[in-house]
Amino acid sequence: MATVIETIPAEERADFEGRLKVYGVNSTAVIQPDLVVPPGSTMTLSASDPKSFVKPHVLTTSSLAQLKSWIGVADTLFHAGKFDRNMIALPRSAVPPSIPQRGIVAGAGARPITAIGIAPTIPAQHLDDIRTAAAAYLFGDSQALNPAYQAAIEKYFVNFQILYWLFFTITVNAGSVLFIGPGQNVLSAWRIVIHQGGMVYAPHGNLKVTSTILQKA
All residues at 6 or more sequence positions from 9 whose CB lies less than 8 Å from its CB, including other chains: none
Q: Please state the domain extents for the chain.
A: 5-60+160-216, 83-154
pTM for this model (two decimals): 0.86
Indicate the pLDDT class of residue 124, thresholds 50, 70 and 90: confident
CA distance 138 to 133: 9
What pLDDT, in 10s, does the model give residues 87-102?
Answer: 888 999 989 988 876 6
Instruction: Report percent pLDDT > 70 for the chain.
Output: 90
For the cut 80, the answer to whether the pLDDT of residue 110 exceeds it is no
Q: What size, in residues, is the chain?
A: 217
* Dist. CA 161–CA 65, nearest whole Å: 13
- Among 187, 181, 133, smallest CA distance to 157 is for 133
Percentage of the chain beyond pLDDT 90 is 69
DSSP bridge partners of 208: 186
